[in-house]
A and B are shown apart, each in its own frame.
Chain A
Amino acid sequence: MLLLVYLLLGIAFGIVLIRSEVLSWFRIQEMFRFQSFRMYGIIGSAIATAAVSIFLVKKSGLKSASGAAIAIPGKALGTGARYAIGGTIFGLGWALTGACPGPLFALVGNGVSVMAVAVLSALLGTWAYGFLRPRLPH
């Protein structure tokens, strides 16, 4: 039952988020103030690990457990506007909440229950994108 595997991976990820402290508003502030190496070390080594892993997985020619061949679709660049503007909007929110989507949920589980309001607000924000989408540059 593959869904069970995703559940277990999710649980593991929630634990990792807490133990790594990347979901701490204090850590995010440290990062944006460039007053600690920690967050950069975490993000940098995560990217490096992922990059090496992707290379090895592709080279191995392995198929996924579900049977699907492993291929990562590239993202369409378009004008780049969506990434630049959307990214900046996200960044503003990231600094204000001290959390991105995964951490918002982990924080609720961890006991910062008021973040449930942030989750609802985030859903509204995503909905707003769906509404504004035809009028936004992509």
Chain B
Amino acid sequence: MSTWLTAPWPWYVAGPTIGLFVPALLLVGNKVFGISSNLRHLCSALIPGKLEYFRYDWKSTGLWNLVFLSGVLAGGFLAAHWGTAHDIAISPATKAALTELGLHDFSGVAPREIFSWHALLTLRGFVSVVLGGFLVGLGTAYAGGCTSGHAISGLANFELPSLIAVLGFFAGGLAATYFILPHLL
């Protein structure tokens, strides 16, 4: 039983568990599972400026989600302290491809050669973190959702806008993987 809390989960446990957050949030308060709106709520709370997009009552529409998000942060922290850190058991083919691109350290959840304060001073680190983060924030706001809102909630509700969004996610992800990363890493 305790291994469930400390070891990585197989896909057929992880997937359905993630999917259950959709009905869970509906049953608690008719909330649609979708994390990216938190970015909008935070902008509305902190830096609305005179922009109409941020002029709404973020407290009444978004407080539940901001609380949920702080839970996510805490959950990440708890998971780090329960059980030993496992290296991600990625496929040998991916390892080989990434090695060819210049990665050598496959420990941890994210490559330290790209994601560390030290790497932030390198082009690969700066682009991945700063430009990558910016594109995530811009893209999810423009698309009106991210993987939780569109890929999971939206597709589960058979929404065409979400299907278009998910196709976009993949177009962008594939473009970055095959055309940007080889030059960046």
On A, residues with C-beta under 8 Å from B are 2-3, 5-33, 35-39, 41-51, 53-54, 56-57, 62, 64-66, 68-77, 80, 82-102, 104-115, 117-131, 133, 136
For B91-117 the 0/1 string (1 means CB < 8 A from A) is 101100110000000101111001111
Give which listed residue, A15, A38, A90, A128, contacts B146 with CB less than 8 A.
A90
Q: Are A91 and B152 in contact (CB under 8 A)?
A: no
Given contacts A49-B19, A50-B153, A95-B176, contact A100 B71 (CB under 8 A): no
Q: Are B151 and A26 in contact (CB under 8 A)?
A: no
Count, chain B residues at interface, CB 8 A: 127
What residue of chain B has the Cβ atom nearest to residue A80's Cβ? B164
Given contacts A70-B26, A125-B139, contact A24 B88 (CB under 8 A): yes
On B, residues with C-beta under 8 Å from A are 5, 7-9, 11-12, 14-33, 35-36, 38-40, 42-43, 46-47, 49, 51-54, 63-65, 67-80, 88, 90-91, 93-94, 97-98, 106, 108-111, 114-117, 119-120, 125, 127-148, 150-162, 164-177, 180-181
Q: Interface majority SS on B: helix, strand, loop or mixed?
A: helix
Bound together, the chains give a CA A110 to CA B109 distance in angstroms of 9
The residue in A5, A95, A104, A120 that gathers the most chain B C-beta atoms within 10 A of its C-beta is: A95
* Sample (27) of A-B pairs whose CB atoms are under 8 Å apart: A13-B18, A13-B21, A15-B75, A26-B88, A26-B94, A39-B11, A45-B11, A48-B15, A57-B23, A90-B139, A91-B168, A93-B172, A93-B176, A96-B135, A97-B128, A100-B136, A102-B147, A105-B72, A109-B76, A110-B80, A117-B133, A118-B133, A121-B129, A123-B46, A126-B138, A127-B137, A129-B137
Q: Are B110 and A101 in contact (CB under 8 A)?
A: no
Q: Are B131 and A131 in contact (CB under 8 A)?
A: no
Q: Are A2 and B53 in contact (CB under 8 A)?
A: no
Bound together, the chains give a CA A46 to CA B68 distance in angstroms of 19
A42: shortest Cβ distance to chain B, in Å? 4
What residue of chain B has the Cβ atom nearest to residue A73's Cβ? B32
B102: shortest Cβ distance to chain A, in Å? 13
B97: shortest Cβ distance to chain A, in Å? 6
Q: Are A37 and B128 in contact (CB under 8 A)?
A: no
